[in-house]
Amino acid sequence: MPDRIKAQVRWCCVISALLLCACASPYRPMPVNPSGPEHRERCRLLFPVAPVRFINAIEAQLPDGKKMTLIGITVIDPGGRAVRAAIMTIEGLLLFDASTRNDVITLYRALPPFDGPEFRRALLRDVQFLLLPPAGEPQQYGILNNGSSICRYGLADGMAIDVIVHPDNSWELQEYKNGSVATRIAKGTAAAGGLPGIVVLQGLQPQPYSLQLRPISAEPAKPGDAK
Amino acid sequence: MKILTSPLVSNGSFCFKAPDSVRWAYDAPVKSVLLLHQGTSRRFTHGHSGWTEDAGIGAAATSVMLQEIMLWSTGRFTESQGFTAELLAGTAPRIQLRPRDSSLEKIISGIEIIPAPDRPGMIQSIIIREGEGNTTTLDFADVKINVQLEDKLFRKP
Query: Where do the domains of chain B lie?
Result: 14-74, 76-146
Task: Give residue A131's domain range.
Answer: 3-226
A interface residues, B as partner, C-beta within 8 Å: 11, 53, 55, 57, 59, 62, 66-71, 73, 75, 84, 86, 88-95, 97, 108-109, 111, 113, 212, 214, 216, 219, 221, 225
Size of the A and B interface in Cβ pairs below 8 Å: 107
Of B8, B107, B132, the CB nearest to A111: B107
* Nearest to A222, CA basis, from B5, B8, B135, B7: B5
Secondary element (H or E) of residue A58: strand A52-61
Nearest CA in chain B to A92: B136
Name the residue among B27, B65, B62 with its Cα closest to residue B46: B27
Q: What DSSP state is assigned to residue B54?
A: B
- Predicted confidence at residue B65, as pLDDT, reads 75
Tell me the mean pLDDT in the region A127-152: 95
CA B104 to chain A, closest CA, distance in angstroms equals 11
Tally of domains in chain A: 1
Q: How far is A65 from chain B (nearest CA, A)?
A: 9
pLDDT value, residue B41: 84
Name the more confident of A18 and A57.
Answer: A57
What CA–CA distance (Å, rounded) separates B53 from B45? Answer: 6
In this predicted structure, the answer to whether residue A16 has a pLDDT above a threshold of 90 is no
Q: Spell out the SS3 assignment of A115-140.
A: CCHHHHHHHHHHHHHHHCCCCCCCCE
Indicate which CATH number applies to the domain containing A193: 2.50.20
* Beta bridge pairs of residue B23: B15, B35
Buried b / exposed e over A132-160, threshold 16 CB at 10 Å, is bbbeeebebbbbbeeebbbbbbeeeeeeb
The pLDDT of A128-139, averaged and rounded, is: 94
Residues of B in contact with A92 (CB under 8 A): 8, 10, 128, 136
Contact at CB, B10 and A225, closer than 8 angstroms: no
Residue that wins the pLDDT comparison between A108 and A102? A108
What pLDDT, on the 0 to 100 scale, is given for residue B59? 59
Q: pLDDT band for position B58 (50/70/90)?
A: low
Average pLDDT value for residue range A158-173 = 96
Q: Tell me, yes or no, if B60 comes closer than 8 A to chain A by beta carbon.
A: no
Contact A93 B5 (CB under 8 A): no
